[in-house]
A and B are shown apart, each in its own frame.
Chain A
Amino acid sequence: MPQSLKVPATMAHFEESVGFIETHLRGAGVDEKTLTKILTASEEIIVNIISYAYQDGEGDFEIEIEDHPDRTTLSFTDEGQPFNPLQNPDVDTTLAANEREIGGLGILMVKKLMDDVRYRFLDGKNTLTITMVKGA
């Protein structure tokens, strides 16, 4: 059974969202290292939705968690501006400190920490789905 939570896309609901993910993944017996990676990626995705999805108003976002024997999948859905976070080129990670820009790090972390990341825009909804394969 997928577990889901739908809350307004505001910082007031940030900790509740992260807490929901942590509680369910712990309950599902996901190992500590995978949990940390998923929480790190989830934070980046949630903060992006809260910051950018509803620039001209307010709206909700939904988190859905599916834990399978072979993988754990989380989906983040909003009804804001169509935006594919995977379309931008990755930041150049070889630059020295003084040349580094501060943007683009969050989505890079999501891509690198997760085994699979997919975006789709369907029926006016953005959905970003992240997957961690078990025993990988």
Chain B
Amino acid sequence: MEIKRSVNGNTVTFALSGRLDTITSPQLSKEIEAAFEKEPVNLVFDFSALDYISSSGLRVLLSAQKKVNALGTKMTVKGVNDTIKEIFEVTGFTGILTIA
């Protein structure tokens, strides 16, 4: 998996490619933690080039959403492919995340 991070004001965008799985999820988790180090930020996840997500990836998104909720900032997930959309639906994540 590759993570491209870009910052625009207080919004941090993570563009992911490849697989957000057991091996790569901790890497994203660290990047998200680092993004919150200085100030409360909005998060955008660009999944246009992401092939699949595992439950460990879902857990990273859930904890990021909880963090954002606690801070009163915003989080959006965009560019979701059909299979990942189905995974969000069957796990109830469509009700938790803001999917653009």
Contact = CB atoms under 8 A, between A and B. Distances in A.
Contact of A93 (B23, B69, B83, B91): B91
B62 A43 contact: no
Contact of B58 (A11, A92, A105): A105
A40 interface: yes
A100 B22 CA distance: 20
Interface stretch (B3-11, B28-36, B37-45, B48-56): B48-56
Interface residues of B, number: 25
Q: Which of A39, A97, A98, A109 has its CB near the most chain B CB atoms (within 10 A)?
A: A97
Nearest to A36: B83
Given A98-B69, A105-B91, A109-B90, A40 B83 contact: yes
Contacts of B83: 33, 36-37, 40
Number of chain A interface residues as a range:
20 to 34
Contacts of B54: 40, 43-44, 47, 106, 109
B21 interface: yes
Nearest to B21: A43
By DSSP majority rule, is chain B's interface helix, strand, loop, or mixed? helix
Contacts of B95: 93-94, 96
Contact of B55 (A11, A94, A98, A109): A109
Given A47-B22, A102-B59, A108 B69 contact: no
Interface of B: 21-23, 51-56, 58-59, 62-63, 65-66, 69, 82-83, 86-87, 90-92, 95-96
Given A44-B55, A106-B54, A108-B91, 11 more contacts: A36-B51, A43-B22, A44-B54, A92-B92, A93-B90, A95-B92, A97-B62, A98-B69, A100-B92, A102-B62, A102-B63
